[in-house]
Structure 1
Amino acid sequence: MQHYFLNRTLTPGDQIGLPAEISHHLDRVLRSQVGDEVELVSSQQVVFKAQIDRIADRTVFVSIIEKLAVNVELPVSVTVVSGLSKRNKPELIVQKATEMGASKLIFVPMAWSVVKWAQKSDKKIKRLQEVALSAAEQSHRNVVPTVQYLDNLAALFNDPFDLKLVAYEESAKAGEAANLVKLVAGSQPGASIVAVFGPEGGISPTEIDQLSQNGFIPMGLGPRIMRTETAPLYFLAACSVLTELAGKLNKPANHDKI
């Protein structure tokens, strides 16, 4: 079932016309028919089932059938901060991090970043926000992550995150293996977590000092050194396992008898 986000409230029984872009996708791309069902997410992040009533003047009209008790979001709010990286790596990070549950993605120039966005940042963020929307629809999220650009790391320091982490290659080389598991697993539902990841060249010692002085805890991501686009995804996978899957280990499975 297709999944779309609307910037409006929804109520069962409503009959509405869908926005032009969604109508075009349903009608012209998917060749949807009257009677087909879709999922619509309201501006309150609530998912509803809807049915296509008619298609007229390039607009798809639907009836809202019912509210769905669906929430696929991580129990913690995770912000990923990435140093600027080359080519299409930011798009890959946004797409996959959205699928894996990130709440927000921030891109920032760092000392060892090769590329500079400068005057292109608005255009870059607009494109990345479109990538986030598409990935959120594909993965049936309740929320479209926000994508943001900051001029420097210091702009992070005033945000009141509950847990602040930085993935540091030297920590991994030194065998640090406890902080990721201990700190993320100990986070309460609803907690806000931010994790900083360097560009291709890594994070400079000066930046590590700056982050550490502002409450960021260095963490290793296992014994292997990962690419700049891989490390945030490893971290998000760990967040999923530690905060939403581990608690289900001791619950009895509901298997049908054969």
Structure 2
Amino acid sequence: MQRYFVSGNDMSKTTVTITGDDANHIAKVMRMENGDHIICSDSQGRTVLCEITAVDRDSVQASVIEEIQEQKESPIQVIIAQGIPKGDKLETIVQKGTELGAKGFLPFSSSRCIVKWDEKKGQKKILRLAKIAKEAAEQSHRSVIPDVFTPVSFTTLLKQAAGFDYKIVAYEEEAKEGETKRLAEVLNSMSPGSTLLCAIGPEGGFSRHEVSELKEAGFVSCGFGPRILRTETASSYLLSAVSYHFELMR
């Protein structure tokens, strides 16, 4: 069944109004009609089963049939702090990370980032990433759309890290040296409701100086298995480990 996110203002106790691209998708792509059922969420935890009552070019009206009680969000709130990568890799990271349960994505610049964030085009890029997160959340039947934050500097990342319960940095040198225990130790120390910030470097990784600064800020330096992962793969590894530990093994 198709799922759509709507703003809280468009969802009352008994009715839902869908506009914009989603309305067009219902009418032109899915070719839905009165009487068809859809699922709607306000991205704040409320999800409802609806029956379409009116379809036109600009909006779709639906009546609420029942409230849906579901638990689709990760018990650990994971923010992926991602060193800005080349090309469309950030789009892949947001899409796959959303499917795997990330709470949000915080791009940042570091000394080995090949790509520099273009402030003029930046807002358009963030909107594009937010749309990807929304579509991935709908596809994976999540109840909440992850946040996509405006990129920050490495210095700002260190300051913002103070607000998290746990902090880890994926460091390839740890994997090369055979480090295998720290990620498991961090996961074992967490409990449902904990917040976790995971810092992942760009294609060139982190410099030793940056890793030292991260450690001073409270980050635990971890190897993600015995293999060296691409920057666009590391977040999926971490989120999969969190899901296995807290959702499949509980």
TM category (shorter chain) comes to over 0.9
The answer for the alignment partner of 2:200 in structure 1 is 197
| Same amino acid, percent of matched pairs | 38
Shift of 1:55: 1.8
Instruction: Identify which range, 171-180 or 98-107, moves more after superposition.
Output: 171-180
Shift of 1:11: 4.9
The answer for the alignment partner of 1:216 in structure 2 is 219
Structure 1: which 5+ runs fail to align? 248-258
Q: Kindly provide the amino acid, as one letter, of the partner of residue 60 in structure 2.
A: V
Aligned pair count reads: 246
Structure 2: which 5+ runs fail to align? none
Maintained 8 Å contact 1:5/1:42: yes
Maintained 8 Å contact 1:166/1:216: yes
Task: Describe the shift of the 1:233–1:16 C-alpha distance in structure 2 as closer, same or farther (beyond 3 A).
Answer: closer
Name the Cα RMSD after superposition.
1.4
Shift of 1:57: 5.0
Maintained 8 Å contact 1:27/1:58: no
Instruction: Identify which range, 197-206 or 53-62, moves more after superposition.
Output: 53-62
Q: Kindly provide the amino acid, as one letter, of the partner of residue 181 in structure 2.
A: A
Following TM superposition, where does structure 1 have runs of at least 4 consecutive aligned residues deviating by more than 3 angstroms? 9-12
**Aligned partners of 2:176, 2:194: CA distance in 1, in Å?**
29
The answer for the alignment partner of 1:139 in structure 2 is 140
**Aligned partners of 1:44, 1:115: CA distance in 2, in Å?**
34
After TM superposition, list the pairs within 5 Å mapping 1:83-122 onto structure 2.
Answer: 83-119=83-119, 120-122=121-123
Maintained 8 Å contact 1:185/1:243: no
Shift of 1:54: 2.2
TM-score by length of 2: 0.94
Shift of 1:43: 4.9
TM-score by length of 1: 0.91
Maintained 8 Å contact 1:181/1:242: no
Instruction: Identify which range, 90-99 or 154-163, moves more after superposition.
Output: 154-163
After TM superposition, list the pairs within 5 Å mapping 1:159-198 onto structure 2.
Answer: 159-198=162-201
**Aligned partners of 1:151, 1:60: CA distance in 2, in Å?**
38
Q: Kindly provide the amino acid, as one letter, of the partner of residue 77 in structure 2.
A: S
After TM superposition, list the pairs within 5 Å mapping 1:146-165 onto structure 2.
Answer: 146-156=147-157, 157-158=159-160, 159-165=162-168
Which of 238, 242, 248 is equivalent to 1:239? 242
Q: Provide the secondary structure at the position in 2 that maps to 1:101.
A: coil
Instruction: Identify which range, 215-224 or 179-188, moves more after superposition.
Output: 179-188
Shift of 1:121: 2.3
Report the structure, 1 or 2, having the larger helix content. Answer: 2
The answer for the alignment partner of 1:251 in structure 2 is none
Residues 181-203 of structure 1: CA deviation (Å, up to 9, x unaligned): 12113211100000000111111
Maintained 8 Å contact 2:43/2:143: no
